[in-house]
Structure 1
Amino acid sequence: MTMLRPLSLALALCAGLVPSAPAVALDGIAGPYLAGRQASRFSDYGAASDYFRRALISDPANSGLLENALVAEIGRGAIDMALPLAGRLEQSGVKSQIADLVVLADLARTGDYETGLVALDEGRTAGALVDGLYRAWSLAGLGRMSDATTAFDEVADAAGTRSFGLYHKALALASVGDFEGADRIFSGEEGGPLRATRRGVVAHVQILSQLERNDAAIELIEKTFGETGDPAFLALKQELEAGAILGFSAVNGPIEGIGEVFFTVASALNGETSDINTLAYARMAEYLAPGQAETLLLCAAILESQGQFDLATKTFNRIPREDPAFVTAELGRADALLSDGRVDAAIEALRQLARDNSGRADIWSALGDTYRRNERYSEAAEAYDRAISTFSTEDPGQWVVYYTRGIANERIKNWGQAESDFRKALELRPDHPAVLNYLGYSYLEMNTNLDEALEMIERAVAERPDDGAIVDSFGWALYRLGRYDEAVVQMEQAVELMPEDAVVNDHLGDVYWAVDRKREAEFQWKRALSFEPDTEEEAKRIRRKLEIGLDAVLKEEGAEPLAVTKNEN
C-alpha cells in the first residue's frame, strides 16, 4: 500500500463546503457582524461565535448570520451548539451544505441510518464523495451488506475516487468479520493495491492477525516503517511476535465507519484547499469518534496552521497519557506553545516528556532544536548528546541529529566536536547540501581548508542551485580564494535569490570592493544595514567599512589584504 492522496476530481467533489462570506443584511447589526467577520478572517472561532450570536439577538432569522455562526461553532469544535443553528437555517428555507454536513453527522452519531438515507435522497449533501460513502456505511448499519458493498463499488467505479471506495469497502467487510475479503482489497488482489495510510496499515495488520498470519503482519510493519520506525507499530510488532491475535478495532461499526469517511476526506483535503473546509470534515470525524487520537492530531494541526494556538494546545491535551499517540501529541503541543511565543512552557513540556521517555531520540532532538532556535546552544548540545546516546545501531536518518549538534557546538566555539559532527553527518548522508554548505562555509570563515570548502559548496550548489544561502557560500568561497570576478557573478545571483538578507548584501559589497566597484560596494553595505544584521558586532563592522573602506578594516583586524584584482572598472 502507498499513501491515499486526493485527486483533483475528489477535491472537486468535496469543494464548496464552507461559503467564503454568506451575504448579510446589516440593518442594526453592523458592529457585531463586522467584528465577527474580522474574527473569522483570522480563524478566531471563539470570538467569531460570540459576535455572530450577539448579532443574532437582534436578527434571529438572518440566514447569513446563522451560517456564519454555524461555521464558527464548527471551527471551535462545539457541534452541540452548531446543531440548533443548522436546524434554524433549514427553517429559514436556505440551502446550506455546511448545515447538511452537521445534520448528516448527527444522524450518524445517533445511529439513525434510515433517516440519514432519506436525508440524502431528499437532497442533503456533504459533497458527492462523502455522500456516496455515507450511503454505503448507512446501508451497512441497517444490515444490508449486499447493498452496502454495491454502494462502495459505485464510489470505487467513479472517476478519481477508486481508492476511497475500496478502502472503506475493506473496512466495512472487516467490521462484519469478512477478513478474507478485506485482505484481498488491502493486498491488491481485488481492484489493485491501495495507497497506504497509517490507519490503513493498522487495519491491515489487524486483519492479517485475525487470519492468523502474524508473520505477514510483521512483514507489512517492517516494510512500511522499517526496523526502528513508529513506536506504536513497534509495540504492535512485539505483540505479534509474542503470538498474540490482534482484535480488529480499526473501525467498530458504521458510526465509526462514517467518522472514518470524514477523517479520510479531511486528510485528503489537508493542505489542498481551504483550512476551514478541511477542519469542518475533521470536526465531524471528531464528533463521531471523540477519542480518536489521529483525528485530534489532525484538528490540532489545522488549528495551529491557522494561528489558533490556544485551541490547538487544548486539542493536543485531549489525548490521554496512555494513548500510543501521546508523545506525538505532546511534541505537537510544544510546537504550538513555541509558535505562540511561550518558549519556557514549550521547553518544560519537552523536558518532562524527555524525562518520562529517556530512550526516545526524537524527543531529545526536539528539545535540542528548541534550545538551538532560541540560541541556548550549550543546552542544545547537551540535549543532542542525549539523543545520540540512545542510538544502538547506525541509520542514515540520524544525520540530522549530528548536523544540528554540530551547529550547536560550532556556536559555543567547540569546533573540534562540531567538525566531527558535521563529518559524521556527511558519512551518513554524503551529499546533503545543508551539511556540505555549513561545513564548507565554516572552513571559509576560519580561512582553512579552502580548496575542500570550495569543493563541498560546489557540490551543495549542484544539489540546490536556487538556494540563496548556498549560492552566497559559493560566491564567498571564490572571494576567499581571490577569484573576485567569478565571485561577483555568484554573489549577484545570491542577492537576487535573497534580496533582503543582510549577510548576502554585505558579502556582495565586499566582492564589489575587491573589484574596485566601490560606490556599488557602499550601496550594498548600506542595504545590509537597512536589513538589520543579526548582531551589533556585524552592524558595527559594516559601518566601519563605510567609514574607512574594506582594505583599512582588514588592516585594522590584522587580516590578509585583498589580492590584487585584474578588474579595471
Structure 2
Amino acid sequence: MTDRAGRMISALTAMGLLFGTVALPSPVLADAGSYLAARQATMDRTFPELANYATRALAGDTENPALLESVISAHISMGNFDAVKGYASQLIQIEPSNQIAAMANLTLLARDGDYEGLMAALEGGQSISTVVDGLMLAWAHVGLGDMSGALDLFDQGAGMGQGFENFGAYNKGLALALVGDYEGALEILSQPDMPQSRFSVIAQAEILSQLERDEEALAFLNDSFGEGPLDLELETLREALTDGETVPFTVVHSARDGIADVFFAVASALDGGLDDAYTLLYARIAEALRPDEASYVLSVATLLERLENYDLATQALDKIPAEDPAFPVASLARSETLRASGNIEASLEVLRQLAKSHPELDEAHTALGDALRRQEDYAGAAKAYSVVIERHQPPTRAQWPLYFTRGTAYERLGEWEKAEADLRQALELEPDQPRVLNYLGYSYLEMKTNLDEAMEMIRKAVEARPEDGYITDSLAWGLYRLRRYDEAVEPMERAVELMPVDPIINDHLGDVYWAVGREREARFQWQRALSFEPEEDEAARIRKKLEIGLDRVLIEEGEEPTRDTNDG
C-alpha cells in the first residue's frame, strides 16, 4: 500500500468518514432460519446467499435498518443496482443519513445523469463521506454546466489535509480538460507535488497532444512508464504520439465519469487497508457509473476473487470485450479465477484461446505453460514455453525463468539432456540463481552424478536463501547421499524447522536418523511424514520402512544400505 493510500485511510478513519460492517439484528423468531442463514452468508461473504436470506428475513421485519443494509450492500456487491432503489428509499426514510442507503441512491442518481436530484440529495443530508460528498457535488455542478460553482467546490478540497490535499485539485484538472481548458488542466496536473497514477499520466499525455505538443507527450509517457514494451492501451497511445497524431482526451468523457473516478480512487486507497467487502462497495459503484472502463472491472474482479466469490469475479471479467486493450489481462485473470474455483479445464481453455487469439503475447504462452506444468502435462508445457523462447534469440537475462521452467518440464519427462541444457542456460543468463542451482544440484544428487559440483551448487543456494526449507533439505540430502550422515543431521533438522509439515522433508529426516543409528526417532519422523499425506507411492515406501527398516528397503531396491548389518 502506498504512503498516500495509508494517509487517506487514516484520514477517513480519523475524520469519521467510513463505517465498518454492520451486524445483523437479533433474529426475528418468525423467520429465524432466514436470519441465521443470512448471518452465515455475511461471515462467508457469499453475496447472493446474503441477498436471498436477508430479503426473506426482511419480510418479517420490513423496517429493520440492519436487514435493509444487508440487502442493499449484498446487491451492490453483486453489481445489481437496479435491485436496490426501493430498499434504499425505504432505508432513507428510516435513517436519512444512512451511508449504505446513500451509496445506493446517489449512485443511481449519478448513473441516470440526474444531477439536479444528486445535488438535492447531497444538500439534503444524504452522505457517503465528506470527501466523496464534496467531489460528487462538484461534478454534479459540472454536469449541469455550472463550471464556476464546480471549480469553487473543487478548490475547497485543497483544505482537507491528511492525504487529501491534491484530491480536489486533481479532479479540478480533469474537469477543466473535459470542457476544453487544456492549458488550465495541464497547469494543475503537472504540479510537482501532484501524485502520479496511471490515469493522471495518460491524462497529461492526452492533454499535451491536444495542445499539439506530441513530442513532450511522448517523452513524458516514456519517462513515466519506461521505453520498454507496455500494455496494449499504453502502446496504442505511444504509437499514436510517435506518429504525430492528435489523440483525444479520454480519461473522463462526462461528469458521470468524473464521479466514477472518485469512487475508483477511494477504492484504490482503501485496498488492503480495510475489509475487502467494504472496499468492494466503492469499486462496484465506480464500475456501475462507467462499466466500459476495464480498470474498474479488473479491480472489482480482484476483490471478488480475494473474497472467494469466484463466479461473480468471472462474471465481471466476462464483461470486458475481446476488442478492449485490457482483454488479455482480463483473460489471464479469468483463468486464475477459474483455477481458484476448481474449474481447471475451463481455466486451461481460456489460456488456449488467448494464445490462439493473441499469438504475439508472451504472457499468454507462458501462463499456459505454467498451467499445463501444474497439471503435469509437461510435454504441453515445454511446447508452450518454446514458443516464447524461440522468438527471443539470442536470449537475454529476462528469459532465464523460461529456460528454468522448460528445463524442469523436460526433467519430468525424462529428457535429461534437454533439461540439463536449459538449466545451464538459465544459470548462464542469471548466474548463481538459487532456485536453478538447487534444482540442478538436487537433480545431480538423485542421479548420483556430478556430486562435487552438485554440492557446490546447493551450498551457494543455501548461502543465498538460508531460510528456504527446500534448499536446506537439498544440502542435507546431498550429505546423506555422500554417506556423510553425521554432517547431514543438523541441516536436515533445520529443514524440518523451516518446513515442519512437509512430508518429504520429514521422511528425509527419518532416513538420516536411521543412518546414524537413531532408529526410534527415525520411525517417529516416518510416522509424521505419513500424517502429512504424501503421494501414494511415497506413502507406500514409508510404510515399508516402518515395517522392515530403511536398510532392507534399500537392499530390495538394489541400493547400498546405510550400515553394514545383516538385519537392517
Normalising by structure 1, we get a TM-score of: 0.90
2:370 aligned residue:
369
Task: Give the deviation of 1:341 after TM superposition.
Answer: 1.7
Work out which of the residue numbers 101, 104, 107 in structure 2 matches 1:105: 107
Counterpart for residue 37 of structure 1 = 39
What is the distance in 2 between the residues matched to 1:484 and 1:167? 66
Unaligned runs of at least 5 residues, structure 2: none
| Contact 1:4/1:163, CA 8 A, preserved across alignment | no
CA distance in 2, matches of 1:429, 1:192: 39
Structure 1 stretch 17-26 or stretch 32-41: which is displaced more?
Answer: 17-26
- Aligned pair count reads 559
Gaps of 5+ in 1: 565-569
Q: 1:57, CA displacement in angstroms?
A: 2.2
Pairs within 5 Å for 1:523-542: 523-534=524-535, 536-542=536-542
Classify the secondary structure of the residue corresponding to 1:29: helix
Counting only pairs closer than 5 Å after superposition, residues 139-288 of structure 1 correspond to structure 2 as 139-145=141-147, 148-157=150-159, 158-162=161-165, 164-187=167-190, 190-196=191-197, 198-223=198-223, 224-288=225-289
**Measured at CA, do residues 168 and 370 of structure 1 come closer, stay the same or move farther in structure 2, by a change above 3 Å?**
same
Greater mean deviation of Cα atoms: 450-459 or 350-359 = 450-459
Change beyond 3 A, Cα 1:528–1:387: same
Stretch of structure 1 that moved more, 71-80 or 204-213? 204-213
Q: Which residue of 2 aligns with 1:418?
A: 419
Q: Which residue of 1 aligns with 2:493?
A: 492
1:567 counterpart residue number:
none
CA contact (8 A) 2:209 2:246 kept: yes
Question: 1:7: which partner in 2?
Answer: 6
Counterpart position of 1:309 = 310
Contact 1:166 1:191 in 2 (8 A): no
Call closer, same or farther: CA 1:436–1:156 in 2, change over 3 Å. farther
Amino acid at match of 1:173: L
After TM superposition, the structure 1 = structure 2 runs for residues 318-329 of structure 1, keeping only pairs within 5 Å, are 318-329=319-330
User: Could you tell me which residue of structure 1 aligns to residue 23 of structure 2?
Assistant: 21
Secondary structure of 1:7 counterpart: helix
Q: Report how far residue 503 of structure 1 moved.
A: 0.7
How far apart are 1:561 and its partner, in Å? 4.8
Q: Distance in 2 between matches of 1:72 and 1:283?
A: 11
SS across alignment from 1:313: helix
Aligned-pair Cα RMSD in Å:
2.6
**Aligned partners of 1:285, 1:209: CA distance in 2, in Å?**
27
Report what 1:545 is aligned to. Answer: 545
- What's the CA shift string for 1:426-460, capped at 9, x where partnerless? 33333443333222222222223333333333333
- Contact 2:208–2:217, Cα closer than 8 Å, also in 1: yes
Quote the Cα distance in structure 1 between the aligned partners of 2:364 and 2:331.
10
Partner deviation per Cα, 1:337-393 (whole Å, 9 max, x = no partner): 222222222222221221111121111111111111111111111111123233367
The Cα offsets for residues 242-263 of structure 1, whole Å up to 9 and x where unpaired, read as 2211100111122101100111
Instruction: Identify if the C-alpha distance between structure 1 residues 299 and 553 changes in structure 2 by more than 3 Å, giving closer, same or farther.
Output: same
Aligned to 1:61: 63
The alpha carbon displacement at 1:103 in A equals 2.0
Deviation at 1:69, TM superposition (A): 0.7
Q: Partner letter of residue 66 of structure 1?
A: L
2-structure distance, mates of 1:543, 1:419: 33
CA-CA distance at 1:43 after TM superposition: 2.2
Q: Give yes or no for contact 2:102–2:126 (8 Å, CA) kept in 1.
A: yes
**Does the Cα contact within 8 Å between 1:4 and 1:194 map onto a contact in 2?**
no
Q: Distance in 2 between matches of 1:432 and 1:66?
A: 56
CA distance in 2, matches of 1:250, 1:406: 44
Q: 1:78 maps to what in 2?
A: 80
Contact 2:445/2:451 (<8 A) preserved: yes
| Per-residue Cα deviation, 1:253-312 (whole angstroms, up to 9, x for no partner) | 221011001111112222332111111001100111122111111111211222222211
Q: How many percent identity over aligned positions? A: 48
Query: Aligned partners of 1:69 and 1:443: how far apart in 2?
Result: 60
Shift of 1:201: 2.9
Q: Give the AA of the match of 2:307.
A: Q
Deviation of 1:212 (Å)? 2.4
Q: Partners of 1:503 and 1:338 in 2: how far apart?
A: 26
Counterpart CA distance in 1 for 2:285 and 2:354 is 30
* CA deviations over 1:103-158 (Å, ceiling 9, x no partner): 22223223344544454444432233323433443344344545544544544451
Comparing 142-151 with 47-56, which one deviates more in the overlay? 142-151
Question: 2-side partners of 1:92 and 1:141: how far apart?
Answer: 30
How far did 1:410 drift? 1.3
User: CA separation in 1, counterparts of 2:213 and 2:394?
Assistant: 29
Judged with a 3 Å threshold, the aligned counterparts in structure 2 of structure 1 residues 513 and 40 are, in CA distance, closer, same or farther, namely same
Partner of 1:52: 54
- Displacement after TM superposition at 1:414 (Å): 1.4
Mapped contact 1:359–1:390 kept (Cα < 8 A): no
Shift of 1:70: 0.8
Whichever residue aligns with residue 386 of structure 2, its letter is D
Cross-structure match for 2:555: 555
Query: What is the alpha-carbon distance in structure 1 between the residues aligned to residue 221 and residue 415 of structure 2?
Result: 41
- What is the CA–CA distance in structure 1 between the aligned matches of 2:138 and 2:254, rounded to whole Å? 12
Q: What TM-score, normalized by structure 2, do the two folds share?
A: 0.91
How far off its partner does 1:94 sit? 6.3
